Structure 1
Amino acid sequence: MAESAVKAVVGNVSKLAVWETSLLCGVTGEVGFLKDELKRLKCYLRSADAKRKSGDECVATWLSQIRDVTYESENVIEAADYMEKRNRLKNGFLGAISRYARLPSDMVTLHKVGVEIQRIRRKISEIFDSANRLNIDLDTSVLGKCCVEDEFPRGNDLMDQNFEDDVVIVGFEDECQEITDRLVDKENNTLSAISIVAMGGAGKTSLVRKIYTSSRVKEHFDTVAWVTVSQKFKAVDLLTSIVGQIMGARVGFNICECEVGKEIHNFLLQKRFLIVLDDVWETDTWEQINKMVKAFPDVANGSRVLLTTRKQDVANHVQMPTHVHHLKKLDEEKSWELFSSKALPSYSRCAVCDVDEFEELGKKLAKKCNGLPLALAVFGGYLSKNLNRETWINILLSWPSTKDGQMMRDILARSYNDLPDHYLRSCFLYVGAFPEDYEISVSDLIELWIAECFIPHTPKHTLEEIARKYVTELAQRSLVQVVSRSRAHGWIERIRIHDILRDWCIEEAREDGFLDMIDKTACWDSASSFERTLSYRASFQNFSGQILQATTPNLRTLVGFELSSIFLPKLRFLRVLHIENSDLENFSPAIGGCIHLRCLRLRRCGNVTLPSSIEELLYLQIIDLRKTNLDSTLPNSLWNIPTLRHVYLSSAFSSPRSVGHKELQTLWLTCASVGTKYRYHDMVTFLRKMRQLTTLFLVMKPMHAKIMNIFAYMPHLVDIHLASFGVLDKLPESNHFPQSLRHLYLEADVIELDPMPILEKLPCLVVLELSGYKGRTMSFSAQGFPRLQELKLDNFSVEEWRMEVGTMPKLSHLKLWLCKEMWKLPNGLLHLPSLTNLKLVSKSPIS
């Protein structure tokens, strides 16, 4: 009986290939046709966007129809492709049985795909028929060029130039001096405030940043803190941020506002402090911050509060002696100085003929910006990409006579429309999905852009390289502001977008149906937007309850911040899910069937359970669960997803015995105390298979020294962060480290042997952070660390520190946390030719 059953199964499986072929042949040709149509549709979307800008409602409607059918085409093509991918993963006899078992459902799916393709073909035909009836010029001459993926436009070889990041790099010298004098005035010992008032884009924040980072301010005040208030804020969040800045302490999630306020009050009793409140909108902000407890004591030592606002009544309404400073616009000379630094930067002047003529035109154009730094910076950035005499003349002659607000909008629209391609325009609008004054991680943003398919494939560059060029392009045009750079890599690390630019992005994105913003605290109303224009991307902020209705079944992107008890519906076409600081409901059922999902990012979220079927998400590229506690264990099937590239996990982790996927680029794991049951050899075996990693961030308590043996199997590593070792007896030899390594962080309770003779031989190391070495000697040889620029040593002490002349020739930043046993620094510090920043921090407790 059993034998006949087996023969029956084998016989049926042998017929499966024939059945699959007959089923697939019926739709393969249709899918191929639809792929060709999809290319044609995307070309029309690119070439016809200018026609929509003309205000023709017929063209706008037609483009909206093309966009809709384009997304529908992508969905159905991917549904067919998904079946093929899934079946390819099932090999051998058992795989054939699995495919055979799924055959009935696959037949139904293939039938639906075929029917859907026929419907889309009819819809496409109707769209182009309507274009002919409406006499819409389709401009078919561009199709041949459009169907080829774009190379990076203009400046393909442009490196990440060391352009000035700040919006205001000149001007306000007198005002900077005046405000600084008031801050450090030793005759006024009472707690007092300075309010800086000006319209948006006038340079308030940049001026205060200059003052805040000046040496006079740093030397005068014992402690400083900066918080951005914005239109929506929670007092406890501001206070928590201040605690982190002045005390270096992390505050738990459930701590109350009163307790945080008391911590600040007690710490500041013996300190002269400066608190900056940037971008204040409400008159009662100071009262709200001090509502539960008076966090900022007046101990008659000259402490100060410095705030910026657009509103006069806010500037006057602070419950302490206040000086109101009205920020002036830049005069003609300073306007030209700022404008020319953007429009004619030093790295492009050498390629410009007749610079004098451009300067003459530029001075006239700078006057049009009416002394507003943001307008000068954005307009100058736009002209720097259009170094053409006729262009400058035409702009000057056609300049409209408008007020400041409309002038800023005209400049933004001009700069946006001048972005080299539709990819970069999409990338810029996408920045509007983040909250006001949010510091955006460029690495996070790039991963989102790639998941959204905003970055074109080119033969000479990786997607990440093109994306970083896009960030640089936006920064050079002053469309985004640079917050920080990576010293290890030189690229832009964090950005933010000015409120005015963000508001413009949101409005433009809504008009295009590109993105909808729903923010309950900033009066962004979603209902009318969804009814007016179907949006395929949505950003929800400060929201609770059921966030999406049946009117948005085709949503491709869902971004969320500060969502409370959110119930997620099933969104079967979802490609990007990025949610932070939120509590989710119904997560596992909602996400289980999202076969199109590329990015799953949940940061600091609660009530999250991953579905056991997560391995069926065959397009998933990114899973980011940092600081999110899962309600269940991580399914080991995650590691079988073939497209997975970036993994970030912050929960208990057990390495799987077998791993089907070995192409990860980023692995970020933090594990709690793993105890004696943890199998380190399983972890080492698991990690050895990740041969394509470029970034490894691994924190385990305790970390086993054997983990260090994995480096020989990871030749492409560029960034390594390992903590927390107990005793680290020795490091691998330098030739066992990845030779491309640029950033190394090692933290241990005890590092027994001097690590420098090994680490100094790494040829590409730029940043080294080391904690835990307490030995007799520490030696730096004359040829050591040829490219090191930043060195941080924590929890270390040595009896003898040797530093030969010629070591670390490029070191510019040195930070030392000194133990009480450490009392002597090496004379070799005096011979470091590039050292510009030395910081010594005492490890002794603060009295």
Structure 2
Amino acid sequence: MAESAYSIVLSNVNTLAIQETTLLCGVTLEVESLKDELKRLQGFLRDADGKRRLRDEDIVVLVSQIRDVGYEADNAIEAVDHMQKRNRLKKGFMGAIARYARLPSDLTTLLNVGVEIEHIKRKISEIVESAKRLEIVDLGNVPIENVHVDDEFQQDYPNYQNYEEILLVGFEGEYEEIVEKLVDTEKSLSAISIVAMGGAGKTALAKKVFMSCRVQEHFGKTAWVTVSQKYKGIDLLKEIMKQIMGSTDESIDKLNEYEVGQKIHDFLLQTKCLVVLDDVWETDTWEQLNRSIRAFPDAANGSRILITTRKDIANHVQIPTHVHPLKKLDEEKSWELLSSKALPSYKRSVIHDVDEFEKLGRKLAKKCDGLPLALALLGGYLSKHLNAREWSDILLDWPSTRNGQMVQNIVARSYKDLPNHYLRSCFLYIASYPKDYIIDVPRLIELWIAEGFIPKIPNHKLEETAEMYVAELAQRSLVEVIERSRAHGCIDIIKIHDILHDWCAEEARQDGFLDVKNETTGQVGEPASSNNLVSYRSSFQSLSNEILPGTTNIRTLLGFELQSASVPKLRLLRVLSIEKSTLKDFCTVISGCIHLRYLRLGNCGGVVLPSSIGQLLYLQTIDLRDSYLESQVPKSLWDIPSLRNVYLDDGFSPPPPPAKSVRLHHKELQTLFLGISHVGTKLWFHDMVIFLRQMNQLRTLFLMIFPMPTEVFSLFANMPHLVDITLGQLGVLDKLPDEFPQSVRRLVLYADVIRQDPMPILEKLPCLVVLKLEGYEGKTMSCSAQGFPQLQELELHRFSVEEWRTEEGTMSKLFILTLWKCEKMIKVCEELLDLSYLSHVTLAEVPYF
């Protein structure tokens, strides 16, 4: 893995050097020479990285030195590149001088970089001598892995199968049994405990039970919380309260454990509820939840607790508990699960000797000892190797290990089989999230891109390549798919199984890829022995003390639920993401972080951005949603040409209109999310519109502004690539504009009043999949035949329609219909319920229902 990480750094160095050598003046020759030396080191590293596994102390040191020198070269070359980018953006007289002459500060930078490169080259010479002494083979200038996306590679992804559905093969009878236990007529409070070892499918089964129509209809309210090894009783109670009572985080933040328990207690006395405690590790968890007050009373109304656990904790739950030991799959069901992954129907048609594969596959399935996780992982691996000889070799080489180690062996095999080092890095990076974390895929992709894990491939946007990487991991069952985006057709939310998370964290620690620190487990990143590399990435999780990174050379810093975060100056930082924390002296921390690519502060306090933020010329993503800003976001932010994704709430100003002599380029901007509670002047929005008209590469536009001028619709003429549009707090619209981007797949428009039927305009959009509208006050609404050819989800708010005319053939793919506060649509509702192509209809606050 160290070799893979080095390859990514070398790729960045090559890109900078190739593109910018004409700008490096006096250090051009030094940079070209350095490139050659770095390529040579990559050859040494490929040999040394394998030998490091033999626990040779000297080789571990050598690997660390090679990786370090690669990062140093990256930093040095980028410092000069930054200088040139900064000079090109300068305005006026000083800008002209900077572009055509050398300022004293620039000459100093070039001199320092030249000295640094000479220092790096001396280090490389020493490394080469050490490699020869250790008999490390120079494999030559082996090129960086050729990464491409061919047609066969892409065809697999639309056919991926839902992870939980796969793991449920063979549990149909147990599913029915547990559902019956939950919805029986017994009134007293009771629990069901599903018990099995890790990877046996407990959570998948419980999730299927939880989401069943019978269960959801039987209970007034339901809640699902993941307990895991690291938990705080009050946090679990707050999450339960939020789900069953609909309370917001803000309303319960100040409540203590007794107050939260009391509110849950009082609510459960009146309402029949189901609460799922998933992945319980400790026998005293029930006692901890009821420590301050008995939060779960026996109200004799049929409430239930469903528990999944690796231990038998029935004797420790002070309510009647039915223990359900989850059985392992028999041989037939094991083969059914394995073949569903390894030989799905769309692949069987191209296999000549299916019987031979089935014969070998049944033997391999038997080796997995009935564990669904092992079967799904192995099936994912085998699906990439439809070669009978290879299946036979795996069977012959099957290691004799216990169940827990067996799964880890399969994970290791799948990891090594990933097609390139970029994808391997993407997989290990998931360990930077806490266990059981619900991972937002678009946000994960932004991090991957900032880290340099996504290669540039002709005719593919970086985001598109990253989406295929997620799909590849899902198809191999290395991640769990929680939710897909209906609008975009790609995976939207994922999780990673605890066993896989543990494997990733350990592999990342040993390879110096990532370290993790939390209060429960201690610092995973502290090397247990000298054979572990020091990492340049750190993830801090659920800490009450301040962040104190171990090295000033750290490049990535992630923080999750830190009470307070005091970050020292880290001038080489490339990724900074902190959530649910109070920040100290943050303004001074990032003012000099010229290498920064990604900045996310979610639900944080104490946020003050430096006026010099415009100097962060590599910044790709800034996400300040839901954070409290103690000062305005500086206007210089808009001067950064590398921005790809901008997410801002209140507390920012639009960029000043660009001077005619200055051309602003935002060719990379993909996502713009702006939420503003109140805009005081028309000039504010006028300036923003001038800026937005330059954003002709935007794919996602989210504007939630009060009041929203109708002038916003004029932007669409210059945004031909828009896929996702959300416009909120529009006032009175006489009619919608006649033209929307033909590429739009998701459209959300919230208005006070829409006076003219919007459907004749919107039904012509050829790619529209999701449509959400609010405020139409007309009496009739018409949808013509062949209208809305791709629409799958329709949500209408505050529609006063008395008649909805639909011609045959309209909305032929509509799957979900939701009506909110549509008080006059009684007759419409009756007719819609008879439409055969609808699968889900939700009627909320409609008097007839």
Report the TM-score when normalising by structure 1. Answer: 0.92
Cα deviation, 1:648-701, whole Å, max 9, x if unaligned, reads 012233212235343321001111233457733233223222221100111123
2:839 aligns with 836
Q: Residue type matched to 1:165 in 2?
A: N
CA contact (8 A) 2:47 2:136 kept: no
The structure-2 alpha-carbon separation of the partners of 1:178 and 1:22, relative to structure 1 and needing over 3 Å to count, comes to: closer
Check whether the contact 1:796–1:819 (CA below 8 A) recurs between aligned residues. Answer: yes
Q: Does the CA-based 8 Å contact 1:810-1:833 persist in structure 2?
A: no
Map Cα deviations across residues 790-845 of structure 1 (whole Å, 9 max, x no partner).
11112223111211111101111112224443322267636755322222222579
- Between the aligned partners of 2:529 and 2:736, the Cα distance in structure 1 is 58
C-alpha distance in structure 2 between counterparts of 1:49 and 1:266, whole Å: 60
Moved more, 360-369 or 274-283: 274-283
User: Deviation of residue 364 (structure 1)?
Assistant: 0.6
Report 1:99-498 matches (<5 A): 103-140=103-140, 143-144=141-142, 146-147=143-144, 149-152=146-149, 155-167=152-164, 168-186=167-185, 188-252=186-250, 254-257=253-256, 258-312=258-312, 314-498=313-497
Code of the residue aligned with 1:208 in structure 2: it is A
Aligned pair partner of 2:709 in 696, 704, 728? 704
Contact 2:88 2:98 in 1 (8 A): no
Residue 806 of structure 1 aligns with an amino acid whose one-letter code is G
Shift of 1:501: 0.4
Distance 1:260 1:730 in 2: 48
Matched, 1:794 2:797: yes
C-alpha offsets along residues 197-246 of structure 1, whole Å, 9 cap, x if unaligned?
Answer: 11111110001111112222123222222111122223443334334433
Partner residue of 1:75?
75
- Which is worse superposed, 777-786 or 283-292? 283-292
**Residue type of the partner of 1:246?**
I
State the SS of the aligned residue for 1:429: helix
Q: Which amino acid aligns with 1:88?
A: R
Letter in 2 for 1:574: L
User: Residues 693 and 806 from structure 1, CA distance in 2 versus in 1: closer, same or farther, beyond 3 angstroms?
Assistant: same
User: Alpha-carbon deviations, 1:617-672, whole Å to 9, x = none?
Assistant: 11111111111121110100001111111000122332122353433210011112
Cα distance per residue 1:578-631 (max 9 Å; x no partner): 111111112111101111111011111111110100111111111111111211
Cα-Cα RMSD: 2.6
Equivalent pair of 2:644/2:670 in contact (CA under 8 Å): yes
In the alignment, the residues of structure 1 paired with residue 833 and residue 78 of structure 2 have an alpha-carbon distance, to the nearest angstrom, of 62
1:79-94 map, 5 Å: 79-90=79-90, 93-94=93-94
1:777 aligns with 2:776: no
Give the aligned residue type for 1:470.
Y
CA distance in 2, matches of 1:653, 1:703: 16
> Which residue number in structure 2 is paired with residue 11 of structure 1?
none
- The residue aligned with 1:740 is 743
Matches of 1:472 and 1:195, distance apart in 2: 33
Q: After the TM superposition, which residues 565-644 of structure 1 pair with which residues of structure 2 at under 5 Å, given as runs?
A: 565-644=564-643
In the alignment, the residues of structure 2 paired with residue 835 and residue 556 of structure 1 have an alpha-carbon distance, to the nearest angstrom, of 50
Change (3 A) 1:80 1:269: same
Larger mean Cα displacement after TM superposition, 666-675 or 611-620: 666-675
Residue in 2 that maps onto 1:4: none
How far apart in 1 are the matches of 2:146 and 2:249? 48
Greater displacement, 408-417 / 84-93:
84-93
**Equivalents in 1 of 2:489, 2:241: separation in Å?**
30
Q: Say if 2:743 and 2:767, in contact at 8 Å, map to a contact too.
A: yes
- Aligned mates of 1:809, 1:628 — CA distance in 2: 42
Q: Is the 8 A contact 1:516 1:529 kept in 2?
A: no
Looking at structure 2, the residues matched to 634 and 150 of structure 1 have their Cα atoms a distance apart, in angstroms, of 39
The one-letter code of the counterpart of 1:309 is: T
Query: What's the counterpart of residue 539 of structure 1?
Result: 539
Distance across 2 between alignment mates of 1:583 and 1:259:
24
TM-score (norm 2): 0.92
CA apart distance, 1:514: 0.4
Q: 8 Å contact 2:642–2:666 — kept in the other structure? A: no
Between stretches 240-249 and 525-534, larger displacement belongs to 525-534
Matched to 1:680, the amino acid is F
Distance 1:22 1:507, change over 3 A: closer
**Distance in 1, Cα, partners of 2:426 & 2:519:** 25
Give the letter for the 1:683 counterpart.
Answer: M
User: Structure 2 counterpart of 1:662, which letter?
Assistant: H
**Displacement after TM superposition at 1:276 (Å):** 0.8
Distance 1:91 1:778 in 2: 54
SS in 1 for 2:128: helix
Which amino acid counterpart does residue 802 of structure 1 have in structure 2?
A: R
Q: Deviations over 1:29-87 (max 9, x none)?
A: 11222234334444654676444446555544433222111111111111121112112
Give the secondary-structure state (helix, strand or coil) at the position aligned to 2:827: coil
- Report the AA paired with residue 773 of structure 2: L
2:767 aligned to which of 746, 750, 764: 764
1:578 & 1:160 partners in 2: Cα distance?
Answer: 30
| Distance across 2 between alignment mates of 1:22 and 1:303 | 72
Aligned counterparts of 1:361 and 1:159: Cα–Cα separation in 2: 23
Using the alignment, how far apart are the partners of 2:688 and 2:570 within structure 1?
35
Q: Deviations over 1:178-210 (max 9, x none)?
A: 111111111x11111111111111110001111
Q: Is the contact between residue 542 and residue 563 of structure 1 (CA under 8 Å) also seen in structure 2? A: yes
- Name the residue aligned to 1:8: none
Matched, 1:692 2:691: no
Deviations 1:770-792 (A, max 9, x none): 12223211111112111101111
Cα separation, 2, equivalents of 1:738 and 1:77: 41
Shift of 1:742: 0.2
The CA deviation string for residues 496-532 of structure 1, in whole angstroms up to 9 with x for no partner, is 0001100110000000000001111233454446985
Range moving further from structure 2, 677-686 or 176-185? 677-686
Counterparts of 1:27 and 1:632, CA distance in 2: 41
| Contact 1:149–1:457 under 8 Å retained in 2 | no
Q: For 2:265 and 2:683, how far apart are their aligned partners in 1?
A: 44
Unaligned regions of 5+ residues in structure 1, if any?
1-19
Q: Do 1:806 and 1:832's aligned partners in 2 also have CA atoms closer than 8 Å? A: no
- Bigger shift: residues 278-287 or 779-788: 278-287
More displaced 10-residue stretch of structure 1: 257-266 or 368-377: 257-266
Does the CA-based 8 Å contact 2:440-2:493 persist in structure 1?
A: yes
Aligned length: 819
Kept in 2, the 8 Å contact 1:807–1:832? The answer is no
| Alpha-carbon contact 1:723-1:747 (below 8 Å) kept | yes
Which residue is equivalent to 1:726? 731
What is the rounded CA distance, in whole Å, between the counterparts of 2:197 and 2:108 in structure 1?
61
The 1:41/1:834 distance shift into structure 2, 3 A limit, reads farther
Q: How far is the alpha carbon of 1:159 from its aligned partner?
A: 4.9
Q: Equivalent residue of 2:250, what SS?
A: coil
In the alignment, is the contact (CA less than 8 A) between 1:149 and 1:456 conserved in 2? no
| Greater alpha carbon shift after TM alignment, 166-175 vs 467-476 | 166-175
Q: CA deviation at 1:748?
A: 2.2
Q: Which runs of 5+ in 2 are unaligned?
A: 1-19, 659-663
Quote how far apart the aligned CAs of 1:301 are: 1.9
- Check 1:831–1:193 CA distance in 2 against 1; reply closer, same or farther (3 A cut): closer
Give the distance between the partners of 1:298 and 1:676, measured in 2 at CA: 57
Change (3 A) 1:759 1:710: same
Cα distance change on mapping 1:262 and 1:774 into 2, 3 Å: farther
- Match 2:757 to one of 749, 754, 758: 754
Which letter does structure 2 place at the counterpart of 1:591?
I
